[in-house]
Structure 1
Amino acid sequence: MFRKILFVCVGNICRSPTAELLMRRRLQGRSNVEVSSAGLQALVGRPVDPQAATLLRENGIDPDSHVARQATPSVLVAADLVLVMEQSHHARIVREVPQVSGKTFLLGKWRGQQEIPDPYRQHREAFQHVYRLIDDCVDSWVPYIK
């Protein structure tokens, strides 16, 4: 049973907050599940990247409450499920916090181990592509969140 879901990327301003907010929308009405995000090298205190924020708003999601935070060992351990964007994120987390290895997976696990590329400092098209990937991968996890 997953009560605390944590999405992890690098800066915690593009991919992981997008996944967090999309999952929250999918799980709306399920007050027993806490969804959050963090970054391996978080731009602590920063809001969602402007490009990502624009896409979220265009899809009816308000990103303004997000503040980037670091994926510390205690944050990782507190989660029941840790979903990362790339294999390198998984490898780093497992190396640095081995006790979370059994609950850390690619967000794209159910999509053929799909990795989610980093759109940071790229054009809108890259952000749109990443948004679609995240949206699909988040959707693929919903049946497993009880």
Structure 2
Amino acid sequence: MNQQSKSSFHLLTVCTGNICRSPLAEALFQDAFAADPDVYVSSAGLEALVGFPMDEQAARQLVRLGGHPDDLFAEQFEDAHAGNANLILTMSLAQRQQITRDFPRAALRSFTLAEFAEIATAAAAEAGSSLPLAGLLAYARKHRGSHKVDATKDVQDPFRESDSVHEATAEHIHRLVQQIIQASSEAR
């Protein structure tokens, strides 16, 4: 896990309990940005099961995708997250709305994972090449109104669901994370 420095770009993934979706996305992003010390990735939950390890079924999916769940423990989203993260990616529209309502200063930096993946892909296509995360964020802030965001693009919560639901959720997250990674010049 890379450590945050003063010059870091902090990417934060958020879900409800911080034991299934957001840690899976966190680990995938950490792997992609591991070679760049200026990108710090973490996750938190809006109703976190603080201190709990990653859900066993979600952890199996992460391992299947090449990740490592060992150092992932649930943490509660707090005001410090809202203030320190450059980019906040939620798994659902309702989570994004909760963050913007409860932490208004984070509103311009909060997107759903699906929303940001779509905008990042458009930004890279328009630029003709990948962009730094800060450039993708600037583009996303400027163009967020031109991309439809609704709950149909949410990442399903697999908590206490079947293995097949966990697999489908992991694949959905993986696909969206890959879109952002492909659009980012910091990713390996």
Q: Same fold (TM over 0.5)?
A: yes
**1:39-64, Cα deviation, whole Å (9 max, x unpaired):** 00000000000001111122321101
Paired residue secondary structure (2:174): helix
1:1-146, aligned counterparts within 5 Å? 3-109=9-115, 110-111=117-118, 113=149, 114-142=153-181, 143-144=183-184, 146=186
Displaced runs of 4+ in structure 1, greater than 2 A?
Answer: 110-114
- Greater helix share, structure number: 2
Deviation at 1:21, TM superposition (A): 0.2
Letter in 2 for 1:121: R
**1:70-126, Cα deviation, whole Å (9 max, x unpaired):** 000111211000000001001100000001100000100134642101000000000
Any gaps of 5 or more consecutive residues in structure 2?
1-6, 119-147
Partner of 2:140: none
Bigger mean CA offset, 77-86 vs 113-122: 113-122
Query: Which structure has the larger Rg over C-alpha atoms?
Result: 2
Tell me the percent identity. Answer: 34
Paired residue secondary structure (1:128): helix
Bigger mean CA offset, 70-79 vs 81-90: 70-79
Any gaps of 5 or more consecutive residues in structure 1?
none
Q: Distance in 1 between matches of 2:25 and 2:73?
A: 14
More relative contact order in 1 or in 2 (CA 8 Å, sep 6+)? 1
Residues 8 and 37, structure 2, Cα contact 8 Å, conserved in 1: no
Residues 8 and 38, structure 2, Cα contact 8 Å, conserved in 1: no
Letter in 2 for 1:53: A
What is the TM-score with the length of structure 1 in the denominator? 0.94
